[in-house]
Amino acid sequence: MEMMKTGIAYHGNRMVSHFRDDIRDIIAHNCTYVVHMFSENDYMRHRQVLKDLVRITHEHGLEAWIDSWGMGRIFAGEVSGWLNEYPDSRQVLNTGKSVGMTCLYSRDYRLALQDWAKAAIATEAEMVFWDEPRLYFSSSAGGGEPVWGCRCARCQARYRDTYGYAMPTELTEDVMEFRHQSALDFFREMTDFVQARGSRNSLCLMPSTDARFGDRNWDDFAALPAVDNLGTDPYWYGQSIGVQGYVADWSRRLLETCRRHGKDHHLWLQSFAVPAGREVEIVMAAETAYAAGIRNLAAWGFRGSDANDYRALRPEVAWQAVGEAFRRVLWRW
Ligand SMILES: [Zn+2]
């Protein structure tokens, strides 16, 4: 029988004594693993603390994942100061403006992120988790041309080499393919790096099929040899969609992709920005995903993301719903 896995995203606390209490709360809410954020600030300030958090997680019989949260700002979460010191690594938009996100072809950034990965692996977590990678994209409010990256000198030179003509400022089919290939090339190198050091890779892609973020073809990411686990996060609160249909659709799509490539999967539940009175939808989402075949569910995040501005309106109730959702999918026989 396939073992159900249930994970919880953990951040907002770096006091080891506090985590000793939290891990008991996490277990009481039926979690089998903890996704620890390892942001740039943590990387600079809390390397030993993260090792301690992972060790305590293991001591309680749970697995640990380490999340590339906010590193270079191409991942979800957190701010990054690294680009202040490496302005040449910034993405340049099609408008010519440079922004505080890294270009995926920046050699300096790839080396910096490899150093981060070494520190992540040194925590002895079971999984390195690459969290919602994205390229800059903003659709124009007035219905005009979208604004996107990256069109830096480095990318322009590579584009010309690949396609034989100058990189357009419009988001053409070739540009979309170039962006997609840049994300693939980047994660091929990063996941190979992690695998070569004996650890495993999980990659979470946002639930979209358009050209926005450079992840338009999930199959290409699932096919990367060192990607062990592929996930997605169909967050439904804040959108005018029904939770069950939305979660079922993305669960099926994820499972089909992972089956085609023989990879493990995971799917995120939303326990942040939960409106008061709609917490039960977390339970509905979990049961829907389970019925579709999902056997690895994670929730963002701990205690209804109480430590963030985007927390649930009633964090304690959302946390209770997560516990109930996980109880229903975990204790089956
Ligand atoms: Zn670039």
Predicted confidence band of residue 67 (pLDDT cuts 50, 70, 90): very high
Does the pLDDT at position 197 exceed 80?
A: yes
Query: Is the pLDDT confidence value at 214 over 70?
Result: no
- Hey, how many other C-beta atoms are within 10 angstroms of the C-beta on 127? 23
pLDDT at 209 over 90: no
Q: CA-to-CA distance for 87 and 234, rounded, in angstroms?
A: 33
- Cis bond leading into 150, ω under 30°? yes
Q: Which of 121, 54, 265 is nearest to 113 (CA)?
A: 121
C-alpha 167 to ligand 1 mean position (Å):
11
**pLDDT for position 78:** 75
Domains 1-66+233-254+262-333 and 68-229 alike in fold:
no
Question: What's the CA-to-centroid distance between 193 and ligand 1, angstroms?
Answer: 21
Distances (CA, A) of 267 to 5, 202, 262: 10, 11, 16
Model pTM score: 0.96
Tell me the per-residue pLDDT of 73-130, one tens digit each, with 9 for 90 and over. Answer: 888 877 788 999 999 999 999 999 999 999 999 999 999 999 999 999 999 999 999 9
Query: How far is Cα 238 from Cα 248, in angstroms, rounded to an integer?
Result: 18
Ligand 1 center to 4 CA (angstroms): 40
Whole-number Å distance, alpha carbon 172 to ligand 1 midpoint, is 16
Asked whether the beta carbons of 93 and 156 are under 8 A apart, the reply is no
Q: Ion ligand 1 — residues with CB under 5 Å?
A: 103, 150, 152, 154-155
For residue 266, is pLDDT > 80?
yes
216 Cα to the center of ligand 1, angstroms = 18
Residue 256 pLDDT greater than 90, yes or no: yes
The whole-number pLDDT of residue 215 equals: 65
Q: How far is the CA of 154 from the centre of ligand 1 (A)?
A: 5
Give the confidence band of 211 by pLDDT, cuts at 50, 70, 90: low
What is the pLDDT at residue 271?
98
Is 172:146 a contact under the CB 8 Å cutoff?
no
**Domain limits of the chain?**
1-66+233-254+262-333, 68-229
Distance 155 CA to ligand 1 centre (A): 4
Q: What is the pLDDT of residues 137-172, one digit of tens each?
A: 988 767 778 899 999 999 999 999 999 999 999 999
For residue 111, the CA-to-ligand 1 centroid distance in Å is 15
Ligand 1 centroid, distance to 194 Cα (angstroms)? 23
Of 237, 246, 234, 241, nearest to 278 by C-alpha is 237
Regarding the domain delimited by 1-66+233-254+262-333, which CATH topology (the fold level of the hierarchy) does it fall under? Alpha/beta knot (3.40.1280)
Give the SS3 label for residue 264.
Answer: strand
Model confidence band, residue 217 (pLDDT cutoffs 50, 70, 90): confident
Query: DSSP secondary-structure letter at 4?
Result: P
Separation of 156 CA from ligand 1 center, angstroms? Answer: 7
Dump strand ranges (E) for the chain.
Answer: 5-10, 33-37, 63-67, 90-92, 98-102, 127-131, 137-138, 147-148, 200-205, 229-232, 264-270, 296-300
Q: How far is the CA of 180 from the centre of ligand 1 (A)?
A: 13
Report the mean per-residue pLDDT for the chain.
94
Predicted confidence band of residue 213 (pLDDT cuts 50, 70, 90)? low
Q: Quick one: pLDDT at residue 210?
A: 67
**CATH number 3.40.630.30 is the correct assignment for the domain at 68-229:** no
**Residues 94 and 151 sit within 8 Å (Cβ to Cβ):** yes
C-alpha of residue 283 to centroid of ligand 1, in Å: 42
What is the average pLDDT across 36-52? 95
Q: What is the mean pLDDT of residues 131-135?
A: 88
pLDDT in tens, 5-30: 999 999 999 999 999 999 999 999 99
